[in-house]
A and B are shown apart, each in its own frame.
With several copies, the nearest count.
Chain A
Amino acid sequence: MPQYTILLFGPAAAAITMDRVVIQSAELCSADQLKVLMIQQFPALDVYLDAGRLAVNQSFVIGETIISTSDETALITMVSGG
């Protein structure tokens, strides 16, 4: 059963006081499917996932992209640099 580790930063990390979450999935997921699982397993992330995008190996991916469990995956919520 695939198991994903997703890095968290900024407000999302602060909201659940964790810098990563581990997500269990029945099968390999697309980015969009992974976001749905994240909300189910960590409801407190809901508000951050709305405007959040997933990055795989340090690049943004579109929702249909299938993610491998060995990819470095991160949730990039609304950024605020500058």
Chain B
Amino acid sequence: MSVQIRLTQGPLATWPDTPYAQGSGARIVFDGVVRPTEDGEKIQGLHYEAYRPMAEQQLEIIGQELLETHGLIAMDIEHSIGLVPNYKCSFRLVIDSKHRKEGLAAMDEFINRLKQDVPIWKSAK
């Protein structure tokens, strides 16, 4: 059981190529993708700013908690910092679990927690 955290400068790679965790029967991946409009206005991209040590710590806390409560096998969490152009990935969550049910539930919960408790702010560019 492991949780990996990365804050990465700029857009995330197309695919992290993390091998399936030992025992995984279901991998669920979420990619948050920057859309070309924000509040109805055309944008070039989104700029992400983090309170970095706390953001990393919060991601780790939430990840470990969900790993335990949902009995997951592994979680890989990556979030962009700085400018992410339209159509690029700014956030990726990879969950390996035995079965899909716990993975889907954990994914929904993780993203809710991210959008509530992780000190990262976006602004339109």
Q: Are chains A and B native binding partners rather than an unrelated pairing?
A: yes
A residues near B (Cβ < 8 Å) are 7, 9-11, 14, 55, 58-60, 74, 76-77, 79-82
* Among candidates B111, B117, B123, residue contacting A79 with C-beta atoms closer than 8 Å: B117
A76 to B117, CA, bound (A): 9
Which residues of chain B are within 8 angstroms of A60 by Cβ–Cβ distance?
117
CB of A74 within 8 A of CB of B91, answer no
Which residues of chain A are within 8 angstroms of B50 by Cβ–Cβ distance?
9, 81
| A-B CB contacts (within 8 Å), total count | 59
CB of A11 within 8 A of CB of B121, answer yes
B residues near A (Cβ < 8 Å) are 32, 48-51, 53-55, 57, 79, 90-91, 111, 114-123
Which residues of chain B are within 8 angstroms of A82 by Cβ–Cβ distance?
32, 79, 90-91, 111, 114-115, 120
CB of A76 within 8 A of CB of B115, answer no
A14-B123 in contact given A74-B51, A81-B79, A82-B111 (Cβ < 8 Å): yes
Nearest chain A CB to B18 CB, angstrom units? 20
* Among candidates A7, A10, A59, A74, residue contacting B121 with C-beta atoms closer than 8 Å: A10
A79-B118 in contact given A10-B49, A74-B51 (Cβ < 8 Å): yes
